[in-house]
A and B are shown apart, each in its own frame.
Chain A
């Protein structure tokens, strides 16, 4: 069964599944809620009716309770009839404990058994139970017969005190009161409500299912379906597919991922294609049947076909006429073994039938499960490498030959050089005429030998010149000896003159010292004068001070005069007061006043005099100051003179020392000249030795064999020409090489005298300057 359901589920479409599921879910939920609401509605309506029956019953009971307790049956009956009048459809019964009706709203039913009017067994049992126990049943009871429906409510009537007078107290329950309330209308209403609800629910369910189905179809199913279609295309090999769905839900992301996936696949394929295109060597791919699936331009050119002619149409063997197609095709081998074959050398024929050596590398192409899908091969044309190899071999052989030839030529040159080493410069190496490096070497060697020959020739000539020169030196040396002796004599004379000079300078020094001491005395005298002037100045100052004191004393005298005058005036005043008796006193006062006046005038004169004196003293002071300054200047000047004299004295002493040193120097010079004389003798010996060596040099240079260029010229020694000699005939005469050295020496001799004279003159001049 479950299998069958699974099968069904798998087979049905997504839409059908969703539709069924929606209907089921919505139907179950709506049904349950519908049932709930209907039953609660029915219950509430019935309980309302039951309550109204209960209240009716209670009302009726309370209305008949009193008439019954007093046994007024008539009133009870009337009451019930009232009920009947007011509510026709309601039936009220009061039965005794045997279920016989005592009162009823239908008069005709009195004294009949109540069970006739209760149709349901449940109701009858409930009544019997109530009569028995006195307990009212917990609910009302519905009675339905044909199209009528009633609600029956039962109340047992208990035996109370008020009843005892009629019924006694033996019975607990006297009877029961039953109200039968028609509920046909209520039931009809419930039924119609239920029908309406069900109808609304059904319509609602259908609507809801349709909306859900539509939405789901729109939001999910359709998009998935679309995506499925696209993926189908991708699986069929179309990778240009692109899906557009920018929703931000799972399907949107799924679409995005799908796009990314497709892009990755495209990138991989592009990468693989780029790899293929990037291979510059001839390259092709085949399927397992050796049919070519890809070939690049280079390879196609190689075969002579066009790319379009080959791809998918020809097998590998048809385009490459190779010797290995039958025996060991590298691609085939790679496809069979699954391993790459690298670097196998093969020969193939191109479109013109030319054989081409190549190196091939091949490998199998597999899918993810390892199944071989085909193979590829890369071909490298090695024609150029093979050619290069043969060229290399040829050049090696040529080089060997050249080397041997060169060796022969080097040996020839070596022989020539050996002869040159023995001193024979007449030989010459032959060139091959190829003008190569070896020929240049031979030329250079020849040039070198020529240069050396020339050099040796020059050396020979130089040796001769040296011999000549040495002889000249020997002659010159003798003259030098003579001159040195003359020099010695002159120096002795100089020495005597210098001594005279020294004594003169000493005299000078003594004079200067005397002048110095005189000037020092003058300084002392001048300083004494200065002191006297200073004392005079002090005396002047004393005078000025004394005058000042006189002035002060004059002030005192003035004061006294002033007071005296006052006193005399007071005396005059007193005398005036005294009148005639004071006359004499007035005269005295007058005299005193006159005296005071005179003394005042005298003191004023004295003051003026003293002021004059003070002015003169100040002038005197100034003069004395000037005098003092004058003396100071005199002292200074004399001191400067004295200092100058001291310096002169010192200078004279120094020059005296200097002259003494000159004397010593002259003496030393004499010594030197003496020493020179001995050196000149030594030089003569050395010159003789040199002469010998020069002869030896000549002999040695004669050993070299040279080309015969005639006689060797000896260079003229021209040192005599530097001396301003009067002997003109020596100049320009070249000494012939054949002439003997001795002869030349004799001829040169007279020219040597002039330098000595010159030296003497110069010496004199120098002396005079000194």
Chain B
């Protein structure tokens, strides 16, 4: 019996992504984001979650996807990245899956032009779509983290 790891999988623009379950603190429904002045790019603003102020960002910006307008059915995943708690907006939470280690393929055989430092690997379950597994700790660059710190 080989090792297993649980992933929370979600959709952004019809594409399935996955994050290790232990990196996730909480999942909440979308609520109004208070935009911060002079903020652009991936940081969308802040929310108040039970008295804690969280910065919110959208991975669309980072993945160069088209922006969309948010509905009450969007989801905010609360993550902890290198000790910083923040929220990520995704389209839909689809499931929690358990992947065996052989079901995860690392990124070493991807073409070298692809900038994939924040991709942990590709999850592949039989008869199902591929899951892009994100490395949360490398998801944001140092500069982006500085911007978040500044908030």
Q: Which residues of A contact B (CB under 8 A)?
A: 562-563, 565-566, 569-570, 572-573, 576-577, 589-590, 593
Residues on B facing A (Cβ under 8 Å): 6, 8, 21-22, 24-29, 73, 75, 93, 95-96
Report chain A residues within 8 Å CB of B25. 573
Instruction: Please tell me which one of the listed residues A566, A589, A590 contacts residue B93 in the complex, with CB atoms under 8 A apart.
Output: A566
The answer to whether B96 touches A572 (Cβ under 8 A) is yes
A589 to B93, alpha carbons, bound, how many Å? 15
Which secondary structure dominates chain A's binding surface?
helix
Contact A573 B75 (CB under 8 A): no
Residues from chain A with Cβ under 8 Å of B6 in the complex = 572, 576
Given A562-B73, A576-B22, A593-B96, is A569 in contact with B29 using a C-beta cutoff of 8 Å?
Answer: no
> B29 to A563, Cβ gap below 8 A?
yes
Do B22 and A569 touch (CB < 8 A)?
Answer: no
Q: Which residue of B lies closest to A572 (CB)?
A: B96
Q: Which of B6, B26, B95 has the most CB of A within 10 A?
A: B95
Q: Is the CB of B21 within 8 A of A572?
A: yes
Q: Is the CB of B26 within 8 A of A570?
A: yes
Q: Which residue of B lies closest to A594 (CB)?
A: B95
Q: Please determine whether A566 and B27 come into contact, CB atoms closer than 8 angstroms.
A: yes
A476 vs B44: C-alpha distance when bound (angstroms)? 132
* Secondary structure class of chain B's binding surface, majority of residues: strand
**Which B residues lie within 8 Å of A573 (CB)?**
8, 21, 24-27, 96
A588 to chain B, nearest CB (A): 13
Residue of B nearest to A576 (CB): B21
Min CB distance A601 to B, Å, is 13
Number of A-B pairs whose CB atoms are under 8 Å?
A: 34
> Given A565-B93, A573-B8, 11 other A-B contacts at CB below 8 A?
A562-B29, A562-B73, A566-B28, A566-B75, A566-B93, A569-B27, A569-B96, A570-B27, A573-B21, A573-B24, A573-B96
- Some 13 contacts from A to B, beta carbons below 8 A apart, are A562-B73, A563-B29, A565-B93, A566-B28, A569-B27, A570-B27, A572-B6, A572-B96, A573-B24, A573-B27, A577-B22, A590-B96, A593-B95
> Bound complex: CA of A562 vs CA of B72, how far in Å?
10
Report B-chain residues with C-beta under 8 Å of the C-beta of A563. 29
Bound-complex Cα distance A570 to B29 (A)? 11
Q: How far is the CB of A498 from chain B (nearest CB, A)?
A: 93
Chain A residues, Cβ within 8 Å of B26: 570, 573
Q: Is the CB of A566 within 8 A of B29?
A: yes
Q: Which residues of A contact B75 (CB under 8 A)?
A: 566
Contacts of B73 in A (CB 8 A): 562
By beta carbon, the residue of chain A nearest B95 is A593
Residues of A within 8 A of B24 (CB): 573
| Docked pose: A589 CA to B6 CA in angstroms | 13
Q: Once bound together, how far apart are the Cα atoms of A572 and B75, in whole Å?
A: 16
List A contacts of B27 (CB < 8 A): 566, 569-570, 573
- B28, chain A: closest CB distance, angstroms: 7
Least CB distance, B81 to chain A, in whole angstroms: 16
User: How far is it, in angstroms, between the C-alpha of A565 and the C-alpha of B95 when the chains are bound?
Assistant: 9
**A562, B96: Cα distance in complex, Å:** 15
Tell me the minimal C-beta distance from A339 to chain B in angstroms: 146
Q: Chain B's nearest CB lies how many Å from the CB of A586?
A: 8
User: Which residues from chain B contact A589 at a C-beta distance below 8 Å?
Assistant: 96
Nearest to B8 among chain A residues (CB) is A569
10 cross-chain pairs, A with B, having the tightest CB-CB distances, nearest first: A576-B21, A572-B96, A569-B27, A573-B24, A576-B6, A570-B27, A569-B93, A566-B27, A573-B21, A576-B22
C-alpha spacing A569/B95, complex, angstroms:
7
B96 to chain A: closest residue by CB: A572
**Cα of A563 to Cα of B26 in the assembled complex, Å:** 13
- A737 vs B51: C-alpha distance when bound (angstroms): 156
